[in-house]
């Protein structure tokens, strides 16, 4: 559905300035912690056992920048897992790669034009709220980009 038609009540462009509905879909490799991230944030508790993707959807009311927003959290099943792919493993071994440092993450985020770079822990919840707060702020105050689609009108952001 196109947001400019005004028929999608969940669209952040629906004109309701009091409380906007935002949809946050988390994607990534399988077994990396997407469900735990969402459950820890939504329920304020880390699941004690491995939870396969059962957290399909959850909505929380959040206050960011003094305004309330309804945040719809959507989980996805894990995508292609490259951690056991022989070609990927051989390439990493050949390149003598190491885990990213915080500084490298910041540089990479800047290089691809990301709004910012954040790290968090679903287990300890360190930085967890900041990740979702920043996502909300990014939706309402995105960086200006050239070649922006005229059909989008800011209703969909990939963060």
Q: pTM value?
A: 0.68
Average pLDDT score over the chain: 77
* Average pLDDT value for residue range 125-137: 92
**CA pair distance 58, 38, nearest whole angstrom:** 9
Go through the domains of the chain in sequence order and give each one's CATH number: 3-140 (3.40.50.300)
**CA pair distance 92, 126, nearest whole angstrom:** 29
Percentage of residues in the chain with pLDDT exceeding 90? Answer: 27
Q: Is the pLDDT of residue 93 over 90?
A: no
Q: Is the pLDDT of residue 69 over 60?
A: yes
**CA pair distance 154, 3, nearest whole angstrom:** 9
């Amino acid at each position: 559905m196109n947001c400019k038609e005004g028929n999608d009540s969940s669209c952040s462009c629906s004109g309701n300035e009091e409380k906007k509905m935002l949809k946050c879909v988390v994607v990534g490799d399988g077994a990396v912690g997407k469900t735990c991230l969402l459950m820890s944030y939504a329920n304020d508790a880390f699941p004690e056992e491995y939870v396969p993707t059962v957290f399909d959807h959850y909505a929380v009311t959040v206050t960011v920048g003094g305004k309330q927003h309804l945040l719809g959290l959507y989980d996805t099943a894990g995508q292609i897992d490259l951690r056991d792919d022989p070609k990927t493993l051989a390439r990493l071994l050949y390149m003598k790669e190491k885990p990213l440092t915080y500084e490298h993450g910041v540089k990479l985020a800047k290089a691809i034009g990301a709004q910012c770079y954040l790290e968090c822990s679903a287990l300890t919840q360190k930085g967890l709220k900041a990740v979702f707060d920043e996502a909300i702020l990014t939706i309402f105050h995105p960086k200006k980009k050239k070649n922006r689609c005229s059909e989008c009108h800011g209703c969909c952001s990939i963060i």
